[in-house]
Amino acid sequence: MKDQAYEAGLAVRRRILGDAHVKRSLENATTFDEDFQDLVTRHAWGDIWTRPGLDHRTRSLITIALLASGGCHDELKLHVRATRNTGATADEVKEVLLQVAVYAGVPAANSAFRIAKSVLEEMAKEDAR
C-alpha cells in the first residue's frame, strides 16, 4: 500500500535522482528487491529527505560525504550526478571530499575524488552538447 510518506518520497527521489533513474529502479525491481525499493522510497526519501531541517543541497553534500566515507562507490556516482538537481557545486563536492580525507581517511577520499572527477567530467561534456 502506497501512503503519503511513500508518495512524498517518490516525488523527492525523482526530483533529486531524475525520473529516468527512479523509473528504471522501480521497473527493474523483482519480488526479491521490491520491498527494498519500497523501504528506500518511503524511509530515506519520504521520511528523511522531506524533512524541513535541511535543504536538499545540504542533504546532498552530507550524503556524498557518507557514501565516500563508506566506500559506497555506485551510490556515490549517483549522488554526485544528482548535484545537478540539488544545486551543490563541484567546488562544494571537492570541499566535502577534503573533509572526508581528514575524518574518514585518505584512501576513501582518494577513491571518491577519482569517482567524482569522472562523473563531473561526464556531466560537463553532456552540458557542452
Report the number of distinct structural domains present in the chain: 2
Task: Please indicate, yes or no, whether residues 78 and 126 belong to a single structural domain of this protein.
Answer: yes
Task: Please indicate, yes or no, whether residues 114 and 63 belong to a single structural domain of this protein.
Answer: yes
Task: Please indicate, yes or no, whether residues 37 and 99 belong to a single structural domain of this protein.
Answer: no
The predicted-structure confidence for 118-128, as pLDDT tens digits, reads as follows 999 999 999 99
* 42 CB-near residues (< 8 Å, 6+ apart): 3, 5, 6, 9
Task: Please indicate, yes or no, whether residues 100 and 46 belong to a single structural domain of this protein.
Answer: no
Task: Please indicate, yes or no, whether residues 124 and 67 belong to a single structural domain of this protein.
Answer: yes
Q: Torsion angle, CA of 64/65/66/67, rounded to 10 degrees?
A: 50
- Which domain CATH number covers 93? 1.20.1290.10
Domain that holds residue 101: 54-129
Yes or no: say if 9 and 49 are a contact pair by the CB < 8 Å rule: yes
Q: Please tell me whether the overall predicted TM-score, pTM, comes out greater than 0.85 for this model.
A: yes
Q: Give the number of other CB atoms < 10 A from CB of residue 76.
A: 24
The predicted-structure confidence for 19-34, as pLDDT tens digits, reads as follows 999 999 999 999 999 9
Residues above pLDDT 70, as percent of the chain:
99
Task: Please indicate, yes or no, whether residues 61 and 104 belong to a single structural domain of this protein.
Answer: yes
The predicted-structure confidence for 73-91, as pLDDT tens digits, reads as follows 999 999 999 999 999 999 9
Task: Please indicate, yes or no, whether residues 21 and 8 belong to a single structural domain of this protein.
Answer: yes
Task: Please indicate, yes or no, whether residues 42 and 60 belong to a single structural domain of this protein.
Answer: no
Dihedral (CA of 74, 80, 83, 88) sign: positive
Distances, alpha carbon 20 to alpha carbons 24, 40, 53, 98, 116, in Å = 6, 17, 28, 31, 21
Phi, psi torsion values for 55, nearest 5 degrees? -80, 170
Task: Please indicate, yes or no, whether residues 43 and 63 belong to a single structural domain of this protein.
Answer: no
As a whole number of Å, the end-to-end CA separation of the chain is 42
